[in-house]
C-alpha cells in the first residue's frame, strides 16, 4: 500500500511539472525579441528621484519600442530601493513601488511583456556567497514583490530571480535559487519565473539542473568575446580601457596597431588571443548551440536576456555585425533574446533632454527590427 502511495505521489508530481513546463513553453514566445531598460529603476548614476523615473524612459519610449517590433522589455530593478523607509502594507517602499507600478502598467498598456529583474548592486549580491541572513532577505523580498504583482497579468509579467549572481558556488546558488523560486511560487502561483546559472554565462548555466518547478524559463547572457564587446570599458579587466576600434570579425592587418594601445605585456598577450581565436559568426553559433543543447536535454525553454556591445569606442559597422551574428544564432536555435540595452553606452537608441528618442537605423536592421 505504501509503495502504491509513493508511486502515486511521484506520478502526480511528474504530471504537475509537465503541465507547468507546457505553460513555460507556451509563454516563451512572448519573450522572442526584447530590449533592456537599464538605468531607469536600477544602475542610474543620477539617483532615482521622481523626475528621473518619470523622464528617463517615458510613455513615448515604450510606444516606440512597441512600434519597432519588440515584444517585451526587461525592467531592471535595484532590490535595495524596495527596502527604503515609508513602506506600504506589503513591506515595500511605498513611493518607489508606486512609481514602479506606473512603469509596469505603462509597459503592459502598450502590449509588451515585462521581465521584472532583480538587478542588484554588488553590496546586495556579494553577501549571498556566505551569509545565510542575506539569502533569507532575498527570499522574503521576492515573496513580497511576487505577491504584489500576482494579481496582474501572469501571461505577460515574468519574475527574474537575480541578475548575474557571480562568485557564488554553483551548488550554493542552486539551493538559493530553489528557495527563491519556491517563495515566488507560493506568492504568485501563475507567473513564469526566469532562472539562471551562478554567473549568467553559458558555462554557468551548464552547472545547473532544472528546478522542480516546471513553469520556468532559463536565462543566459552573451558578451563573447569581451575583448571586442567591452573595448574601452573602464570596468572589468584593467587593460580594456586602453582599446578602441577593434574590428569584428578580426583582421590580422588590424592586430599590430590594437596591441600597441595596451601598455602592459600581459594585457597585450590576452588581447592577441582575440585574433588568434578566429571569432566569426560560426564560432558564435557553436557557443550558443551549447546552451540550446542544454535546453533540449532538460526540456526547458531558454532566453538570452543580455547581449550587447559598448559603443563608445567601437566601430559602428563592426558592432552591428556582431549584434546581427548573435541575434541570428539565437533565432536559429529558437532562443528568445533581450538586447542590452535601450539607452546609454550599449544603447540601440539615443535620447536628448526634451526630445524624443531616436533608434539607430543600422542597428535596428542588424536586430531584424522595423525602423
- pLDDT, one tens digit per residue, over 238-297 is 999 999 999 999 999 999 999 999 999 999 999 999 999 999 999 999 999 999 999 999
Q: What pTM does this model have?
A: 0.94
| CATH code of residue 338 | 3.20.20.80
Residue 109: inside a domain: yes
Residue 272: inside a domain: no
Closest CA to 71 of 114, 38, 109: 114
- What is the rounded distance in angstroms from the CA atom of residue 116 to the CA atom of residue 157? 7
**Average confidence score pLDDT of the chain:** 94
Residue 270: inside a domain: no
Helices 94-109 and 59-68 sit at what angle, rounded to 10 degrees? 40
Is pLDDT above 50 for 8? no
The pLDDT of residue 139 is 98
Distance of CA 104 to the CA centre of its chain: 17
Q: What is the mean pLDDT of residues 156-183?
A: 97
Residue 240: inside a domain: no
Is pLDDT above 60 for 89? yes
Share of the chain above pLDDT 70, in %: 95
Residue 254: inside a domain: no
Q: Domain of 32?
A: 2-232+280-366
Residue 266: inside a domain: no
The pLDDT of residue 11 is 43
* Confidence band, pLDDT 50/70/90 cuts, at residue 2: low
Is pLDDT above 50 for 185? yes
Residues 6+ apart with CB under 8 A from 87: 93, 94
The pLDDT of residue 18 is 62
Residue 259: inside a domain: no
Is pLDDT above 60 for 9? no
Chain position carrying cell 532559463: 218
Domain total in the chain: 1
Please give the DSSP secondary-structure letter assigned to residue 88: -
Is pLDDT above 60 for 101? yes
- What is the rounded distance in angstroms from the CA atom of residue 170 to the CA atom of residue 335? 23
Residue range 26-52, pLDDT digits in tens? 999 999 999 999 999 999 999 999 999
- What is the rounded distance in angstroms from the CA atom of residue 203 to the CA atom of residue 168? 14
Q: What is the mean pLDDT of residues 339-355?
A: 96
**How deeply is 223 buried, as exposed, middle or buried, from its count of CB atoms within 10 A (0-12, 13-18, 19+)?**
buried
Q: Provide the grid cell at 369.
A: 527590427
Is pLDDT above 70 for 1? no
Q: Is 236 left (phi over 0), alpha (psi -120 to 50) or beta?
A: left
Residue range 299-330, pLDDT digits in tens? 999 999 999 999 999 999 999 999 999 999 99
Closest CA to 340 of 125, 32, 34, 30: 34
Residues 6+ apart with CB under 8 A from 151: none
Residue 261: inside a domain: no
Chain position carrying cell 532583480: 118
- What is the rounded distance in angstroms from the CA atom of residue 176 to the CA atom of residue 72? 27
Residues 6+ apart with CB under 8 A from 19: 214
Amino acid at each position: 500500500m505504501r509503495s502504491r502511495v509513493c508511486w502515486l505521489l511521484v506520478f502526480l508530481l511528474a504530471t504537475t511539472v509537465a503541465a507547468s513546463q507546457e505553460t513555460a513553453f507556451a509563454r516563451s514566445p512572448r519573450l522572442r525579441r526584447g530590449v533592456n531598460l537599464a538605468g531607469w529603476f536600477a544602475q542610474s548614476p543620477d539617483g532615482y528621484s521622481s523626475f528621473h523615473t518619470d523622464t528617463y524612459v517615458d510613455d513615448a519610449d515604450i510606444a516606440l519600442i512597441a512600434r519597432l517590433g519588440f515584444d517585451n522589455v526587461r525592467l531592471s530593478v535595484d532590490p535595495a530601493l524596495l527596502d527604503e523607509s515609508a513602506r506600504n502594507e506589503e513591506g515595500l517602499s511605498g513611493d518607489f513601488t508606486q512609481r514602479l507600478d506606473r512603469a509596469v502598467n505603462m509597459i503592459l498598456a502598450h502590449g509588451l511583456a515585462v521581465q521584472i529583474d532583480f538587478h542588484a548592486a554588488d553590496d546586495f549580491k556579494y553577501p549571498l556567497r556566505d551569509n545565510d541572513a542575506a539569502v533569507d532577505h532575498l527570499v522574503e523580498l521576492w515573496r513580497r514583490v511576487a505577491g504584489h504583482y500576482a494579481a496582474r497579468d501572469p501571461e505577460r509579467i515574468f519574475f527574474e530571480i537575480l541578475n548575474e549572481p557571480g562568485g557564488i558556488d554553483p551548488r550554493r546558488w542552486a539551493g538559493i535559487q530553489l528557495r527563491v523560486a519556491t517563495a515566488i511560487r507560493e506568492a504568485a502561483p501563475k507567473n513564469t519565473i526566469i532562472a539562471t546559472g551562478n554567473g549568467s554565462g553559458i558555462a554557468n548555466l551548464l552547472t545547473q539542473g532544472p528546478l522542480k518547478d516546471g513553469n520556468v524559463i532559463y536565462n543566459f547572457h552573451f558578451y563573447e568575446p569581451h575583448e571586442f564587446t567591452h573595448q574601452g570599458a573602464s570596468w572589468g579587466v584593467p587593460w580594456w580601457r586602453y582599446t578602441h576600434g577593434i574590428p569584428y570579425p578580426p583582421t590580422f592587418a588590424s592586430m599590430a596597431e590594437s596591441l600597441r594601445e595596451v601598455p602592459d605585456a600581459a594585457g597585450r598577450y590576452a588581447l592577441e588571443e582575440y585574433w588568434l581565436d578566429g571569432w566569426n559568426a560560426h564560432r558564435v553559433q557553436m557557443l550558443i548551440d551549447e546552451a540550446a543543447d542544454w535546453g533540449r536535454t532538460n526540456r526547458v525553454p531558454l532566453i538570452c536576456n543580455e547581449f550587447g556591445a559598448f559603443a563608445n569606442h567601437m566601430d559602428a559597422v563592426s558592432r552591428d555585425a556582431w549584434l546581427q551574428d548573435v541575434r541570428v544564432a539565437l533565432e536559429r536555435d529558437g532562443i528568445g533574446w533581450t538586447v542590452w540595452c535601450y539607452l546609454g553606452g550599449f544603447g540601440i537608441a539615443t535620447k536628448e533632454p526634451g526630445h524624443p528618442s531616436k533608434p539607430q537605423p543600422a542597428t535596428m536592421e542588424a536586430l531584424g527590427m522595423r525602423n
